[in-house]
């Protein structure tokens, strides 16, 4: 299993938008400058976050991106689900049949491998669902820390 760097970037984009003063919009180039990442790559991540209904996009001259729901309502799983569109998959091939002649044993072994991986995926998802993005902030209530990212560039 490999988790792309876009997952981490998606988390920090949402944190930045959650900290944005007066919930004003922030342009992608402002975020990419602060995060020191490619603007074109960040736009792909932002598009996924818009499609997942985590942020809104306003393409006007004064537009940009805003949170659609609060950081307390957004989990790491929400971000993972938005960014990692392929999901975790695993298929068992017929290699066991080349090694073992006992068909029943082979069938049980393959089932055990698949069941174990399924449990692992479920545990992974459960752990991601248990963490709200607000927990990643110094002030979880997000009450005192407000930043105007547009002024920092």
pLDDT in tens, 26-77: 999 999 999 999 999 999 999 999 999 999 999 888 889 999 999 999 999 9
Number of domains in the chain: 1
CATH number, domain with residue 64: 1.10.10.10
Q: Please check the confidence at residue 103 and state whether its pLDDT lies above 80.
A: yes
Residues 86 and 37 sit within 8 Å (Cβ to Cβ): no
For the ranges 6-20, 77-91, 98-112, the maximum mean pLDDT occurs at 6-20
pLDDT at position 46 is 97
Single pTM value for the model: 0.85
The domain of 53 spans 5-152
Q: CA-to-CA distance for 13 and 71, rounded, in angstroms?
A: 11
Q: Measured in Å, how far apart are the chain's first and last C-alpha atoms?
A: 36
Phi-psi region of 69 (alpha: psi -120 to 50; beta: other; left: phi over 0): beta
Mean pLDDT within 122-136: 94
């Amino acid at each position: 299993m490999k988790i792309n760097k876009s997952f981490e970037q998606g988390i920090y984009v949402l944190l930045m938008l959650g900290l944005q003063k007066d919930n004003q919009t922030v342009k992608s180039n402002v975020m990419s400058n602060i995060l020191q990442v490619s603007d074109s790559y960040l736009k792909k991540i932002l598009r996924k976050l818009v499609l997942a209904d985590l942020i809104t996009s306003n393409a006007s001259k004064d537009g940009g991106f805003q949170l659609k729901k609060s950081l307390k309502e957004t989990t790491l799983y929400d971000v993972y689900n938005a960014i990692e569109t392929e999901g975790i998959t695993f298929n068992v091939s017929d290699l066991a049949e080349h090694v073992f002649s006992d068909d029943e044993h082979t069938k049980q072994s393959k089932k055990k491998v698949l069941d174990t991986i399924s449990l692992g995926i479920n545990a992974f998802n459960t752990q991601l669902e248990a963490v709200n993005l607000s927990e990643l902030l110094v002030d979880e209530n997000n009450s005192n820390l407000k930043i105007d990212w547009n002024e920092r560039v």
